Amino acid sequence: MQRTFFINRNFLLLWLGQALSSFGEFLVNAVVTVWLVSDLLTDDPGLPLAVGLTVAATTLPRIFIAPLAGAWIDSARPVRVMVVADLVRILASALFMAAYGWTDMTPWQIVCGVSLLLLINATAAQFFNPARACIMQVAIPQERRIEASAKAMFSLTGVGILSAALGPLLFGWVGAMSAFALSTLGFAGSAYCVVRTTGLATRLESILPSEPYWRALASGVRLAWTHRTIRLMMIGTALYGISLGINNPVLPLFGMQTLALEPSAYGVLMAAFPLGGLSATLLSPWLSRRLRAETLTCGALFLLGLANLAYALSRGYYIPMLTMYLSGMCFATYVVAQGPVLQMHVPAGYMGRISSLSTPVLSIASMLATAGVTAALSQAHGDPQSTSEIDPNALALVVSAIIVLVGGALMLHSLRKPGSVAETAGESR
């Protein structure tokens, strides 16, 4: 059987659709912050509030909408859900651009309009992404799922880098509306690609469950908790969420205070992480032919903790860059392998619910960790009488790394328990 690079026609279309949809979403997010800080509210004392509104608009749907959307998607037609999600984002973008162009909006009216647009985009994504996960479960042969996940991760990382760079450039050259218009084209291209898939709607419809919505929602939560492998994946997601919540506010402080880097040098250092991720997407298919997907997922999480610990203890410039690159590789390997594990163990008709539960688990863990580390660092940095020689920024990163390191080790140990493979295999049938 010939092994084509894009596996089959449906995967190629879904791959393009995901890339275009993510491009549209990421591009808007990249432009909004620059627009607020450098133009709309430059000298406005309410700037932090405006930034907080935009962050809340993109975060809250992941916590409150995602778990509710998954149960509904499992009883709907995922292909149609993806198309409608893109069309909703197209309509919202068009209405915002029309209101901006045809009315004389004040800066705070624009902030409210942008926040509403981000809220709609993020809500639509909570339907689009689980629906795509449902489709991928039946569209990709089992033996090529990690390869497909690696290709999807490669495009997603590349799109993230492109959007982060292109958004501010477009804003500086031709204004914010150019980015909004380009993102709308991305959503339109995504919808077109999904419409062009063939045979998926019929195949998915034949496996849809018929149980009532709230019972379906409860059964999804029950499956995530009682199925050993799925529970392990959820624990891994929570562990990474804690690490992410600690690292996000601490990394800039560690880079520019502890390592004493200039902003430009810090930017180059942070770019090593996505570069490591791109490298891992090329290596993951090779690793998947030698390791079980479950082992690869838990092992990558363990190594991520180890790489993060090495970064927290490193000094200078080149060693932190190397450890940041290795962290990117470990993280991408973890994400690439986790998807196929869920596709393997989640029964047909449950993928929407299970994939939707991962998002709020990650967001809640990250939010709580961010609140805790922010309070701790504020107290540490705000105490002028402190004589401790321990750097609080490095200590926070060490704690973050140890949580992931120990959690990954325990997950690997759980996989090695006698009978665990047979049990999870039996549960997935």
Whether 228 and 159 share a structural domain: no
CATH (domain of 257): 1.20.1250.20
Whether 140 and 222 share a structural domain: no
Asked if residue 298 lies in contact with residue 232, where contact means CB atoms within 8 angstroms, the answer is yes
Alpha carbon of residue 115 to chain centroid: 20
Distance CA 163, CA 182 (A): 11
Whether 194 and 333 share a structural domain: no
pLDDT of residue 429: 37
Going from the C-alpha of 126 to that of each of 56, 112, 278, 392, the distances in angstroms are 15, 21, 25, 36
Whether 145 and 159 share a structural domain: yes
Distance CA 97, CA 118 (A): 13
**Structure tokens, 48:** 């932090």
Render pLDDT for 29-52 as a digit per residue (tens, 0 to 9): 888 878 887 888 877 888 878 888
Render pLDDT for 209-218 as a digit per residue (tens, 0 to 9): 567 888 888 8
pLDDT of residue 403: 94
pTM (whole model) above 0.85: no
Q: How many residues does the chain have?
A: 429
pLDDT of residue 426: 41
Domain boundary among 182, 208, 234: 208
State what percent of residues in the chain have pLDDT above 90: 37
Distance CA 251, CA 102 (A): 42
Whether 137 and 17 share a structural domain: yes
Across the range 341-364, mean pLDDT stands at: 86
Q: Is the pLDDT of residue 238 over 80?
A: yes
Whether 147 and 257 share a structural domain: no
Render pLDDT for 83-130 as a digit per residue (tens, 0 to 9): 999 999 999 999 999 999 998 899 999 999 999 999 999 999 999 999
Asked if residue 83 lies in contact with residue 69, where contact means CB atoms within 8 angstroms, the answer is no
The domain in which residue 134 lies consists of 1-208
Q: Is the pLDDT of residue 423 over 70?
A: no
pLDDT interval class at 250 (50, 70, 90): confident
pLDDT of residue 382: 62
**Closest by CA position to 235, among listed 417, 408, 427, 419:** 408
Which burial class, exposed, middle or buried, applies to 416 when counting CB atoms under 10 A from its CB (0-12, 13-18, 19+)? Answer: exposed
Rg (CA), the chain: 22
Domain boundary among 146, 181, 208: 208
**Structure tokens, 238:** 């929570």
Domain count for the chain, please give it: 2
**Structure tokens, 123:** 């809500």
pLDDT interval class at 5 (50, 70, 90): low
3-state secondary structure of 252: helix
pLDDT interval class at 203 (50, 70, 90): low
Asked if residue 220 lies in contact with residue 357, where contact means CB atoms within 8 angstroms, the answer is yes
Whether 181 and 258 share a structural domain: no
